[in-house]
């Protein structure tokens, strides 16, 4: 097989490790696979392990261990590593950002991810380049392209495509020694106090490149002509119900999402939130695509799959992961309020989704009262969303979340 592709990534968390570098290593088309990582301990451990790392993959029946070879981690703070990273970016055919947030694209000034990519793709040493944005943001690729072109001051010096992805793959970084031992996990590399635990699910959607000039080295992704319907559906379905279950679990004082779903009433709320509130709106909105997902049967099958995966005891996804960064998750367009607004626009009352809103607001408040007053709730959400957004539908949303407090209190 012709190995004429070069992979260069930024950030070596579970998404990069379990999707992009893993698929690149399997493809057999890459002469080099490198990833810039700012944690020197992580870089050193994998380098000492012969550029190999271990993944713990949660299937429906057990956890399997897979070793991924030939992935070189580079510490850009080290001059020699920085030079190799620059060289690989200049020759790179497949670039991937897998960072915690799109806000980090421009962090670091002259050493930012955007600046490094801009410098690399300004050359014409590679035939073409595809840049995958793997951050959890609907317009991640457009944001990355804008920051890169701003740094470069012009368009790339070679054929280049910035591509959005939809990543529904759930993953965890397990650092507690007791949990690593209890789950019989293998550390990422010998000497590291962390293990990557990821689900076996591996359907990765990517925007269709649609260019004879650009030829990626990874061919395992499912391409879609228009990725937006799938991005919104993932945020308003998978992410929404993940947060709903997480915040209810936090209310109960539970630590793992499968334990939350063991409660029949919670499972009922989760199913009804998707099947009766957001699902009909999504199917109606995106039926024009002709994709099987946007049919009543296709969406119902998708919901069953999501809930089965969240309930996987071998992944043991954590309440803490599902509920971190509450202000962002309560954002006007994010996974709780966004699907509530969509349902309301379609003439539905999202009372089940509102339970997630009530639980999230409580978790966001130190020493929350037994019951929020409606005026207090309005003030908190007005400050979070801004006056213009609140004026649009804030009062209706507040009423739903206020009423949902009673449902939350009555859960067993």
Do 241 and 190 fall within a single domain? no
pTM over 0.85: yes
| CB atoms closer than 10 angstroms to residue 155 | 12
Same domain, 247 and 189: no
> Is residue 308 domain-shared with residue 177, that is, in the same domain?
no
Same domain (yes/no): 37, 155: yes
Q: Are 205 and 237 in the same domain?
A: no
Residue 202's CATH number: 3.40.50.720
Per-residue pLDDT of the chain (412 residues; tens, 9 = 90+): 557 899 999 999 999 999 999 999 999 999 999 999 999 999 999 999 999 999 999 999 999 999 999 999 999 999 999 999 999 999 999 999 999 999 999 998 889 999 999 999 888 766 789 999 999 888 999 999 999 999 887 667 778 899 999 999 999 999 999 999 999 999 999 999 999 999 999 999 999 987 777 788 999 999 999 999 999 999 999 999 999 999 999 999 999 999 999 999 999 999 999 999 999 999 999 999 999 999 999 999 999 999 999 999 999 999 999 999 999 999 999 999 999 999 999 999 999 999 999 999 999 988 888 889 999 999 999 999 999 999 999 999 999 999 999 999 999 7
Q: Quote the domain boundaries for residue 360.
A: 229-410
Torsion of CA 298, 300, 304, 309, to 10 degrees: 50
What is the CATH classification number for the domain harbouring 253?
Answer: 1.10.1040.10
Q: Is 367 left (phi over 0), alpha (psi -120 to 50) or beta?
A: left
* 146 and 267 housed in the same domain: no
Residue 60 token pair: 């429906």
Name the H helices within 205-295. Answer: 228-233, 239-252, 257-261, 264-272, 279-286
- The β-bridge partners of 319 are none
- pLDDT value of position 125: 67
User: Are 216 and 269 found together in one domain?
Assistant: no
Query: In terms of domains, do 216 and 305 share one?
Result: no
Same domain, residue pair 80 and 203: yes
Domain final residue pick, 225, 259, 278 = 225
CA distances from 230 to 85, 239, 294 (A): 33, 12, 10
The last residue of one of the domains, among 166, 192, 225, is 225
Where among 202, 225, 248 does a domain terminate?
225
| Residues 211, 260 within the same domain | no
Same structural domain, 185 and 233: no
325 and 403 both lie in a single domain: yes
Q: What is the number of domains present in the chain?
A: 2
């Amino acid at each position: 097989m012709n190995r004429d592709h070069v992979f260069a990534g930024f950030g070596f968390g579970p998404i990069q490790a379990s999707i992009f570098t893993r698929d690149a290593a399997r493809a057999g088309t890459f002469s080099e696979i490198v990833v810039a990582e700012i944690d020197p301990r992580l870089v050193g451990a994998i380098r000492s392990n012969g550029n190999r790392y271990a993944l713990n993959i949660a299937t429906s029946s057990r956890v399997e261990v897979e070793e991924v070879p030939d992935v070189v981690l580079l510490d850009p703070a080290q001059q020699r590593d920085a030079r190799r990273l620059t060289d690989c970016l200049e020759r790179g055919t497949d670039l991937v950002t897998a960072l915690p947030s799109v806000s980090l694209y421009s962090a670091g000034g002259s050493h930012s991810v955007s600046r490094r990519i801009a410098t690399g793709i300004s050359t014409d040493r590679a035939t073409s380049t595809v840049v995958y944005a793997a951050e959890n943001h609907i317009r991640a690729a457009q944001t990355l392209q804008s920051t890169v072109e701003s740094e470069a001051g012009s368009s790339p010096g070679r054929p280049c495509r910035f591509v959005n992805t939809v990543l529904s793959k759930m993953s965890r970084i397990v650092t507690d020694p007791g949990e690593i031992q209890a789950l019989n996990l293998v550390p990422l590399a010998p000497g590291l106090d962390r293990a990557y635990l990821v689900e076996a699910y591996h359907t990765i959607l990517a925007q269709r490149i649609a260019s004879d000039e650009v030829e990626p080295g990874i061919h395992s992704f499912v391409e879609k002509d228009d990725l937006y319907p799938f991005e919104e559906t993932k945020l308003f379905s998978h992410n929404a119900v993940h947060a709903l279950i997480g915040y209810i679990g936090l209310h109960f004082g539970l630590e793992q999402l499968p334990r939350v779903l063991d409660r029949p009433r919670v499972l009922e709320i989760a199913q009804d939130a998707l099947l009766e509130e957001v699902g009909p709106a999504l199917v109606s909105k995106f039926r024009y695509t002709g994709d099987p997902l946007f049919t009543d049967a296709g969406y119902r099958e998708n919901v069953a799959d999501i809930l089965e995966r969240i309930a996987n005891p071998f992944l043991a996804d954590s309440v803490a992961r599902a509920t971190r960064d509450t202000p962002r998750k309560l954002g006007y367009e994010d996974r709780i309020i966004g699907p509530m607004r969509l349902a309301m626009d379609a003439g539905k009352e999202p009372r089940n989704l509102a339970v997630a809103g009530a639980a999230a607001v409580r978790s966001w408040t130190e020493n929350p009262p037994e019951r929020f007053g409606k005026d207090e709730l309005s003030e908190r959400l007005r400050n979070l969303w801004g006056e213009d957004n609140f004026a649009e539908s804030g009062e209706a949303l507040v009423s739903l979340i206020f009423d949902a407090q009673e449902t939350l209190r009555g859960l067993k």
